Amino acid sequence: MELTDTHCHLFLPEFDTDRADAIDRAVETGVTRMFLPNVDHSTADALLRTCDEYPDHCFPMMGLHPTSVNGSFEHELRQVEEWFDHQKFHAVGEIGIDLYWDRSFREQQEEAFLIQLGWASDRNLPVVIHVRESYRETIQVIRESRYGNLRGIFHCFSGTREQAEEILGLGFYLGIGGLATFKNGGLDRVLPGINPASLVLETDSPYLAPVPFRGKRNEPSYLLHVATRVAAIYGMSTEELAETTTLTSKQLFGI
């Protein structure tokens, strides 16, 4: 069985003491491909170093996370964008809009998001979108961008059935993680009726660990618990769901 973790932060300090072991555990459970999204200029070196050390399993993405957007975001964007001239990336991410932690830079977040959608369009790369308390705003920026070749993932999807259908109608996929295993996560009511080929799986390690590890550090090997739960929601085997979502990830990222 082959699984793909489409979103994990293996380069963060939480993995400094056992990064190699965490990757080995992932591979042993069938998680052979892990896609790593950037946060801002301060994380790019660690991200690329991790992918250089584990090139068979770790694949880099580059972008500016919305919670790193502030009044001087243009300078930060320039620093992040420079990496595209020196390195191959498999997506623009993690980008988007986060109105949960701080709404004071909403306008700047929307502008940074739009600029990075342009990067993806120009480079024909998928985008990995962070959306928190901002589904309406995020979808509006995508629609108004008028970029006809956008594709990608709404990371850590936690929205309604109507929002899911709108996202899929735009040509994007839903990133499903540990929330699917939570008793009151709500995805058991949203996912039925949605084609499982429209999903990709993720952990968002070290965050959002699935049951039975909720509250602890998350890691890519725990993706198996997400896959098992999502498969149960659909009434299919874990192997079938793994094959479907991995194929989707291969088609999206081109590898």
pLDDT in tens, the chain (255 residues): 999 999 999 999 999 999 999 999 999 999 999 999 999 999 999 999 999 999 999 999 999 999 999 988 999 999 999 999 999 999 999 999 999 988 899 999 999 999 999 999 999 999 999 999 999 999 999 999 999 899 999 999 999 999 999 999 999 999 999 999 999 999 999 999 899 999 999 999 999 999 999 999 999 999 999 999 999 999 999 999 999 999 999 999 998
> 14-17 contacts: CB < 8 A, separation 24 or more?
14/206, 14/217, 15/205, 15/206, 15/219
pTM, two decimal places: 0.97
pLDDT of residue 101: 83
Which strand (E) or helix (H) includes residue 60? strand 58-60
What is the pLDDT, as a whole number, of residue 251? Answer: 97
- Map out the domains of the chain as residue ranges: 3-253
Q: Quick one: pLDDT at residue 98?
A: 97
Burial of 58 per CB tally in 10 Å (0-12, 13-18, 19+): buried
CATH H-level superfamily of 3-253: Metal-dependent hydrolases (3.20.20.140)
Residues ≥6 apart with Cβ < 8 Å to 147:
117, 118, 120, 121
List of E strands, 75-203: 92-98, 127-132, 152-155, 172-176, 199-201
What is the reported pLDDT for 255? 85
Cis upstream peptide for 206 (omega within 30°) = yes
Residue 112: phi and psi, rounded to 5, are -65, -40
Nearest-angstrom CA–CA distance, 91 and 176 = 18
Is there a contact between 152 and 178 (Cβ–Cβ < 8 Å)? no
Q: If we measure between CA atoms, which residue out of 140, 145, 88 comes closest to residue 116? A: 145
What's residue 102's pLDDT? 84
